[in-house]
Amino acid sequence: MAEFPKGVKNLINAFERLPGIGPKGATRLVFYLLNTPKVYVEDLATCLVKMKTDVKICKTCFSVSEQDICSICRDSNRNIRQICVVEKAIDVMIIENMGGYKGVYHVLGGVVNPLEHVGPDDLRIDELIQRVKSFLTNSDMSGDFEIILATNPTMEGEATALHIKKRLEGLKIKISRIGSGLPIGADLEYADQATLSRALEGRKDI
Ligand SMILES: [Zn+2]
């Protein structure tokens, strides 16, 4: 079989590292780009670099942001007494697109996964505990404070939710878990909006 030129091979390898893209898909993308006007490819390259330099991580909730603090955390109409804890920043977008949720978020950056050597310390759990504690200290606490554990209903997501619940024990707050309606092993990312809405509405205290 003829060898691809080095530039082609390198780009195929780079695309293959992206989630959900196998060797065939990567090759198809590279050949698509080879036959695309140069200006489009240049534009794509600029967007990629700009995304990495311009997009920041919100210092409060760890979601993606164009400023140090994201637009959700800066929005005074959001209920800061309700924190929805999610695995990834994309989950924030998914819940936002669903509409209806008026609280704020906390992005863990993954889930506890012993097989992949991810422990609680690798996630932003300490930051969450600190955030809750400093809120409880600095507020007059008129009204409830709720943590909604919205990690995926997978084994790792459940274990992570349980770990966080234990860490929050003793604090006078309400802790709930989404789930009803979401199939076991599901990923928030692929749930339809109605199911996700039901899962959030039907969350249970744990
Ligand atoms: Zn934020």
For the ranges 116-125, 182-191, 197-206, the lowest mean pLDDT is seen at 182-191
Q: How remote is the CA of residue 96 from the centroid of ligand 1, in Å?
A: 13
Q: How remote is the CA of residue 28 from the centroid of ligand 1, in Å?
A: 37
Q: How remote is the CA of residue 199 from the centroid of ligand 1, in Å?
A: 23
Q: How remote is the CA of residue 107 from the centroid of ligand 1, in Å?
A: 9
Q: How remote is the CA of residue 130 from the centroid of ligand 1, in Å?
A: 15
Residue-level pLDDT at 100? 85
Residue-level pLDDT at 79? 93
Q: Which two tokens stand for residue 62?
A: 């760890």
Q: How remote is the CA of residue 135 from the centroid of ligand 1, in Å?
A: 15
Residue-level pLDDT at 185? 65
Residue-level pLDDT at 154? 87
Residue-level pLDDT at 96? 93
What is the chain's Cα-based Rg? Answer: 20
Q: How remote is the CA of residue 104 from the centroid of ligand 1, in Å?
A: 8
Q: How remote is the CA of residue 70 from the centroid of ligand 1, in Å?
A: 4
* pLDDT tens readout for residues 139-197: 765 568 999 999 988 889 999 999 999 999 888 899 999 875 666 666 777 777 777 88
* pLDDT tens readout for residues 63-93: 999 999 999 999 999 999 999 999 999 999 9
The most confident of the ranges 8-12, 95-99, 113-117 is 8-12
Select the more confidently predicted residue: 116 or 65. 65
* pLDDT tens readout for residues 13-67: 999 999 889 999 999 999 999 999 999 999 999 999 999 899 999 999 999 999 9
Dihedral angle of Cα 31, 35, 39, 44, to the nearest 10 degrees: -20
Q: How remote is the CA of residue 74 from the centroid of ligand 1, in Å?
A: 7
Residue-level pLDDT at 183? 65
Confidence band for 110, pLDDT divided at 50, 70 and 90: very high
Residue-level pLDDT at 206? 80
Residue-level pLDDT at 194? 75
Question: All domains of the chain, ordered by start, with CATH?
Answer: 6-54 (1.10.8.420), 70-205 (3.40.1360.10)
Q: How remote is the CA of residue 16 from the centroid of ligand 1, in Å?
A: 31
Q: How remote is the CA of residue 168 from the centroid of ligand 1, in Å?
A: 21
Q: How remote is the CA of residue 24 from the centroid of ligand 1, in Å?
A: 38
Q: Is the predicted pLDDT of residue 5 greater than 70, yes or no?
A: yes
Distance of alpha carbon 21 from alpha carbon 38, whole angstroms:
23
Select the more confidently predicted residue: 137 or 27. 27
Q: How remote is the CA of residue 136 from the centroid of ligand 1, in Å?
A: 18
